[in-house]
């Protein structure tokens, strides 16, 4: 769906994209889902997920935004 904009399950073409997959942190704070943090001091997200969702059937694809950084 990332390339082409067509759902591989139902052939739907109404694809929702979000650069952030919501997660919850301390104190129920909204954060973006990521593979890990860089280190305790810098605390930068590494491998943040983005998602593509078919609005017809709900099929979803997750991608890491910068996989070479892992």
Which residues sit at the interface with Zn ion, rule CB under 5 A? 7, 9-10, 12, 54, 56-57, 59
Contact in structure between 50 and 17 (CB atoms under 8 Å): yes
- Closer CB to Zn ion, 37 or 55, in the complex: 55
Nearer to Zn ion, 50 or 59 (CB): 59
Nearer to Zn ion, 56 or 61 (CB): 56
What SS3 state is found at 63?
strand
Smallest gap, in angstroms, from Cβ of residue 70 to Zn ion?
29
Smallest gap from Cβ 61 to Zn ion, in A, equals 11
């Amino acid at each position: 769906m990332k390339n082409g904009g067509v759902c591989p399950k139902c052939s739907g073409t109404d694809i929702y994209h979000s650069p952030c997959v919501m997660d919850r942190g301390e104190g129920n704070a909204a954060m973006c889902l990521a593979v890990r943090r860089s280190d305790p001091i810098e605390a930068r997200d590494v491998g943040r997920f983005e998602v593509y969702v078919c609005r017809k059937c709900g099929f979803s694809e997750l991608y890491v935004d910068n996989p070479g950084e892992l």
